[in-house]
A = this chain, B = another copy of it.
Amino acid sequence: MPDTSVAARPEARELTYGEAVNAALRRCLDERPDTLLYGEDIAKPGGVFGVTRGLRRDFGDRVFDTPISESAILGSAVGAAMLGRRPIVEIMWVDFSLVAFDQVVNQLANVRYVSRGELTAPVTIRTQQGSAPGACAQHSQSLEALFLHVPGLRVCMPWTAQDAYDLLVAAVASDDPVLVIENRTLYPAGKGPVALGGPVQTPGGLRVRREGSDATVVTWGAMTARVLAAAAGLADEGISLEVLETVWLNPFPTDEIVASATRTGALAVVHEANVTGGFGAEVVARVAGRGVPLRVPPLRLGLPDTRVPAAPSLVAGLLPGPDAVAGSVRDWLRT
């Protein structure tokens, strides 16, 4: 892992997604003495994915390993934030957040509201999720919808290395609690120029990954790659998709999506989470609620409503890949 310590000078560095996360953490630890960074295996070992390597060495005891105690990790983050620190904590897999979900929903999200802003809880929770070959049902879920039903909590999901950097820096700077959901399959990937040290962004906004006229496709996280691959293929067939990656899911860019869907007259949402109760429903409901006239009924694609099996052949039969996305979109637009 290259030394990302020059983050403060605005310049572009060739970094993977994981290295971009590291660079963002380094910048935050460097610029904000009130930050703390902790979680399981993140300090001395540098993280199970190597993402936090070198930070303990360089920032000392503001960076530390913890027991396997997610309630203690998240709860202590709430308390440290109430008392003026700015903790950045890692929950190794989003699935594990469920052993301590109380601390997110009943504690963290209430701090500012109940105290009318007298107390705040600027906690950043980094986690990662998603399906990867061979992972079992307890290590494969995409759970963003659970967090998106919790008012008081900001949520983002970077897909590019640049966003892995920018969103995390924005999250740490935010005075609200923010959940940053990364994707472990991306850590070693996406090596490319990442601009470091730029201005700190404000939570919100989306990325227009592709402009198009036949349909608006809203997506986020690792599915973005599949959607873009599908869109590229469909373009050759003369189907022009507008691909919007909603890197921030709370706050959600409703207006921009409504505008795009109004222009294209068709809306699809593609995510890796189970379809029923997924955040795709919210996107469809918002657009429908605005009365956007659509040529075809809105389409939702995601993991069908099952658990996630371990065998690659089984998951492949469930989670739509680029071809399946393209096929579904093609069929949908032809009806």
Closest B residue to A298 by beta carbon equals B288
CA distance A138 to B95 in the complex (A): 23
CA distance A306 to B112 in the complex (A): 11
A positions within 8 Å CB-CB of B: 71, 95-96, 98-102, 104-106, 109-110, 113-114, 136-138, 141, 143, 145-146, 148-152, 250, 252, 273-274, 276-282, 284-285, 288-291, 296-300, 305-307, 309
Copies in the complex: 2
Which of chain B's residues have a CB closer than 8 A to the CB of A276? 148-149, 151, 250, 252, 282
In the complex, what's the smallest C-beta–C-beta distance from A42 to chain B, in angstroms? Answer: 21
Which of chain B's residues have a CB closer than 8 A to the CB of A299? 289
In the complex, what's the smallest C-beta–C-beta distance from A260 to chain B, in angstroms? Answer: 17
CB atoms of B282 and A279 under 8 A apart: no
CA distance A289 to B307 in the complex (A): 23
In the complex, what's the smallest C-beta–C-beta distance from A279 to chain B, in angstroms? Answer: 7
CB atoms of B149 and A307 under 8 A apart: no
Closest B residue to A113 by beta carbon equals B307
Which of chain B's residues have a CB closer than 8 A to the CB of A146? 146, 149
Which of chain B's residues have a CB closer than 8 A to the CB of A307? 109-110, 113-114, 151-152
Closest 5 CB pairs of A and B: A149-B277, A291-B297, A281-B285, A284-B285, A281-B281
CA distance A280 to B149 in the complex (A): 12
CA distance A252 to B281 in the complex (A): 15
CA distance A289 to B285 in the complex (A): 10
CA distance A98 to B148 in the complex (A): 15
CB atoms of B149 and A137 under 8 A apart: no
